[in-house]
Amino acid sequence: MTDRSMDPGAAYGTRDPDALARRAGTRADPDHDQHFLVDDRVLDRLPTYLPDDADASHVLEIGGGAGALTDRLLALVDAEGQDSGRLTTVERDPEFAAFLREEFADAVDSGVFDVIEGDALDVAYPPFTACIANLPYGVSSEIAFRLLPERKPLVLTFQAEFADRMVASAGESEYGRLSVSAQHYAAVEIVERIPKEAFDPQPAVESAVVRCTPRDPDYAVGDEAFFLRFVKALFTQRRKTARNAVRNTGHISGLDDPDAVVEAADADLMSRRPGTLEPSAFAALAELAREHGNPTEV
């Protein structure tokens, strides 16, 4: 049986989360959106959720904390490419950033491991090949939409409600802007649900692990920024018909002539509500809006 209470010189992937927290000397602070994953079984599984063909030669982690997941990711990159594997961890808290550099000093010295100290919303990410992270839930949406356009494999933990919205299909109650936007970039699936007890301190909500596998959508958009803005606009009127949603949200989508879009679109399509439209229907409608609605930057 593996001894998970080993000292800092232990092989990667063997460190006990509780022992790491004791050595760090600083507890996670829920007031700062810190809920550290401490269940060994979940931590061990997270790296295995990368797609089979994923390139794990340079893994990005957001929010290293006391290093429980960092330890598993160092084992992953160490196995991936002998001398070429790398891990970069972004950590906002200066005390935890310093601890990670000390705990994994051998990996830092050998160039395998780097800690970027700063806010994950602001710092520049290195050219990573995959990302595995237990995201701080308060900013998980913003971080996810920094990562998704990179079109790299992602394994991320979210609040379960947020994860359910990411993977929802048209017609389901959870389906919305988040569903369309996330699925525009990747095939999105929930691979595991995590109970509160797997974290310390325990969050108020259940969590889920989401795998995002990059793919090209089965539709084309001429202007991705406009498409995403158009989707956002229509979902602010999700209980209206698409006809009224287009007319009422020109100030959000940047359409100078939303009535021209309504006139050009299929009447049956415009009688449906946004929550029933597949991503491909949003794409087709967005292209009509670009052609007929005289869109401008907003």
Q: Which residues are annotated as a binding site?
A: 35, 37, 63, 91, 119, 134
Alpha-carbon distance of 152 to 184, in angstroms, equals 13
Q: Which helix (H) or strand (E) holds 61?
A: strand 58-62
Cβ neighbourhood burial of 128 (10 Å; 0-12, 13-18, 19+): buried
What does the DSSP 8-state code read for residue 199?
A: E
Nearest one of 65, 42, 57, 45 to 120, comparing CA atoms: 65
Annotated binding site for S-adenosyl-L-methionine: which residue ranges? 35, 37, 63, 91, 119, 134
Asked if residue 233 lies in contact with residue 293, where contact means CB atoms within 8 angstroms, the answer is: no
Helices (H) and strands (E) in the chain, counts: 14, 9
Asked if residue 255 lies in contact with residue 246, where contact means CB atoms within 8 angstroms, the answer is: yes
